[in-house]
Amino acid sequence: MSDTSDKSQSPILLVEDNPTDVMMTREALEENRITRDLHVVEDGIKALEYLKAARTLPSLILLDLNLPRMSGRELLQTLKTHDTYKSIPVIVLTTSNAEIDIGNAYSLSANCYITKPVDFTDFVEIIRSLNDFWFRCATLPNAENSTDGF
């Protein structure tokens, strides 16, 4: 992994258990020529294990809600109440467009909620928009200013 001082190379963490959605995300990143490393874990427990072991925290977390073992909702709540991880932007990227899921995600401090489109071209556009906003417009916190521990 890269050094925490090189924020421009911080990875993206994708928390997704559906192999098709993982493949689609990888392809959308490639289509947009986004070269940032993508780390994939399939549930909330593995996401926490990854974060605890990471030398470089991710710049962004793309989070599905419906996950085995520890749901995306539980992971989001854990991340946003933990000093080390609460400043990492979490984008909920899920198939659910249920108002209760949207409201709950924002009440747990999700930074954004996006319903995954069915059409790949639309998905590529969403990934492009996320990249443009989070890595070109927004100023993200520097991971090395976070406290250690979990």
Residues in the chain: 150
Q: Is residue 108's pLDDT more than 50?
A: yes
- Spell out the domains of the chain, with CATH numbers in brackets: 10-139 (3.40.50.2300)
Cα angle vertex 133, ends 22, 48, to 5°?
Answer: 45
The pLDDT value recorded for residue 148 is 37
pLDDT band at 3 (very low <50, low <70, confident <90, very high): very low
pLDDT in tens, 119-144: 999 999 999 999 999 988 988 776 54
Q: pTM (2 decimals)?
A: 0.87
Secondary structure class of 48 (helix, strand, coil): helix
Round to whole Å and give the CA distance between 28 and 23. Answer: 9
* Number of neighbouring beta carbons within 10 Å of residue 5: 10
Tens of pLDDT, residues 51-71? 999 988 999 999 999 999 999
